[in-house]
């Protein structure tokens, strides 16, 4: 019997594999799928299944036979980690993607969503960044290795669509934050790094906090629960070759972000800036017209999102990874 691959409402009882279900993105997707009534979610920790191991990945797919997949597993990090370990970010992510996508195709996965990042776009792309800006200019050097890996994933999704006719899609979220984020000093992105820095300043009674760069770059931030809702919406309503930008369509300066974190943590001291540290890309704002056309817009404000993330961090600070 032929299988209908036309996008539409996903069957809530079908086996649904979330690759990377313990990370910021994957855990958000898992929570959302549970709340939407999915009853057969499958996840494996990296200790249980090393997705860089091709044989193990294929064996997992042969055993579990998922009908749907979200590929949220990735090696991720901020400017410092990306700049220091470019080989790891390129090699690890390429292997994870190729293994999962090849195994998913071989074992008949109907619908798959590949998650990338807005860093795939050129450093000086016209703002807000449209999906067709991909491959039109030079990447930001501090995370080009990670970006190239994610671009390869987009192209593999497009190749699967052309060669096999499967309605697999790609989504490119903007900067994400929320419960389950990485707050480690060496591996975190800007928002969780700020939350940790300001919370520690409040606890220690420090009169000043020093932030990296000038505070002038503009960034867009999307709560992970919003992102997760967008992913399910796209899997049920979107079928196109092009990757879809997932964001809020608005941005703030890093200085404004730091001020929001200071307020949420209760820090009332002096804010200072170490201008010898790199700023990164001057602005990264996504054009989310395609997402809006597909019928979805974000609902969690940055103020509310930062406040609840600070609360989550403080509740879990003892168990957060270093």
Three-state SS for the chain is CCCCCCCCCCCCCCCEEEECCCCHHHHHHHHHHHHCCCCCEECCCCCCCCCCCHHHHHHHHHHHCCCEEEECCCCCCCHHHHHHCHHHHHHHHHHHHHHHHHHHHHCCCCEEEEECCHHHCCCCCCCCECHHHCCCCCCCHHHHHHHHHHHHHHHHHHHHHHHHCCCCEEEEECEEECCCCCCCCCCCCHHHHHHHHHHHHHHHCCCEEEEECCCCCEECEEEHHHHHHHHHHHHHHCCCCCCEEECCCCCEEHHHHHHHHHHHHCCCCEEEEECCCCCCCCEECECCHHHHHCCCCCCCCHHHHHHHHHHHHHHHCCCCCC
Q: Is 176 annotated as a binding residue?
A: yes
Catalytic residue among 68, 121, 146, 238: 146
Q: Which pLDDT value is given to residue 190?
A: 87
Tokens found for residue 246: 């997932």
Specify the range with the lowest mean pLDDT, choosing from 4-18, 74-88, 275-289. Answer: 74-88
Query: What's the rounded Cα separation, in Å, for the pair 165 and 137?
Result: 30
Residue 4 confidence class, pLDDT cut points 50, 70, 90 = low
Is 22 assigned a ligand-binding role in the annotation? yes
Instruction: Fold for 16-181+221-250+285-299, please state it.
Output: Rossmann fold (3.40.50)
Backbone φ, ψ for residue 218 (5° rounding): -105, 135
Rounded to whole angstroms, how far apart are CA atoms 89 and 96? 11
Tell me the average pLDDT of the chain. Answer: 93
Annotated binding-site residue? 150: yes
> If you average pLDDT over residues 101-112, what whole number do you get?
97
Mean pLDDT over residues 310-321, rounded? 86
* 280 annotated as belonging to a binding site for a ligand: no
Q: What percent of the chain has pLDDT over 70?
A: 97
Residue 21 counted as an annotated binding residue: yes
For residues 158-176, average pLDDT: 96
Q: Quick one: pLDDT at residue 266?
A: 97
**Rounded distance, CA 95 to CA 158, Å?**
18
Q: Is the pLDDT of residue 77 over 80?
A: no
Q: State the chain's maximal CA–CA distance in angstroms.
A: 69
Compute the distance between CA of residue 111 and CA of residue 66 in angstroms, rounded to an integer: 10
Known binding residue 32? Answer is: no
**Ramachandran angles phi, psi of 173, nearest 5°:** -75, 155
Structure confidence at residue 102 (pLDDT): 98
Rounded Cα gap, residues 57 and 248, in angstroms: 34
Give the residue from 51, 33, 57 showing the smallest Cα distance to 92.
51
pTM of the model: 0.91
Question: Does 318 or 200 have the greater pLDDT score?
Answer: 200
Q: Give the pLDDT band of residue 80 (cuts 50, 70, 90).
A: confident
Q: Is 313 a catalytic residue?
A: no
pLDDT band for position 1 (50/70/90)?
Answer: very low
* The pLDDT of residue 187: 66
Compute the average pLDDT of residues 145-159.
97
User: 308 a known binding residue?
Assistant: no
Confidence at residue 189, expressed as pLDDT on a 0 to 100 scale: 80
Q: How many CA atoms are closer than 13 Å to the CA of 167, on its beta-carbon side?
A: 17
Instruction: Give the model confidence (pLDDT) of 124-143 as tens digits.
Output: 899 999 999 999 999 988 88
- Is residue 197 annotated as involved in ligand binding? yes
Give the per-residue pLDDT at 5.
Answer: 58
Residue 2: pLDDT over 60: no
Q: What per-residue confidence (pLDDT) applies to 3?
A: 47
316 labeled binding residue: no
Nearest by Cα to 81 from 146, 138, 5: 146
- Domain extent listing, the chain: 16-181+221-250+285-299
């Amino acid at each position: 019997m032929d299988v209908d691959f036309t996008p539409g409402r996903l069957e809530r009882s079908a086996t649904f594999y979330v690759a990377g279900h313990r990370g910021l993105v994957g855990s958000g997707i898992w929570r959302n799928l549970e709340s939407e009534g999915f009853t057969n979610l499958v996840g494996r920790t990296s200790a249980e299944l090393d997705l860089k191991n091709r044989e193990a990945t294929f064996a997992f797919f042969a055993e579990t036979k998922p009908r749907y997949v979200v590929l949220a597993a990735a090696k991720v990090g901020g400017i410092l980690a990306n700049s220091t370990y470019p080989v790891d970010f390129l090699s690890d992510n390429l292997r994870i993607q190729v293994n999962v996508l090849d195994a998913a195709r071989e074992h008949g996965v109907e619908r798959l969503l590949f998650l990338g990042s807005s860093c795939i776009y050129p450093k000086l792309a016209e703002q807000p960044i449209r999906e067709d800006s991909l491959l039109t200019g030079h990447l930001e050097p501090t995370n080009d290795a990670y970006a190239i890996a994610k671009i390869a994933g987009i192209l593999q999704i497009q190749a699967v669509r052309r060669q096999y006719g499967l309605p697999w899609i790609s989504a490119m979220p903007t900067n994400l934050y929320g419960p389950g984020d990485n707050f480690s000093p060496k591996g975190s992105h800007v928002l969780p790094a700020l939350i940790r820095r300001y919370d520690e300043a409040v606890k220690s009674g420090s009169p000043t906090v020093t932030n990296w760069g000038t505070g002038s770059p503009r960034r867009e931030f999307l709560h992970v629960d919003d992102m997760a809702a967008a992913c399910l919406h796209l899997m049920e309503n979107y079928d196109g070759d092009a990757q879809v930008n997932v964001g809020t369509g608005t941005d703030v300066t890093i200085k404004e972000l730091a001020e929001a974190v200071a307020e949420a943590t209760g820090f009332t001291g002096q804010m200072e800036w170490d201008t010898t540290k790199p700023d990164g890309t001057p602005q990264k704002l996504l054009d989310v017209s395609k997402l809006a056309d597909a019928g979805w817009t974000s609902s969690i404000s940055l103020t509310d999102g930062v406040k609840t993330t600070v609360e989550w961090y403080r509740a879990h600070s003892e168990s957060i990874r270093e």
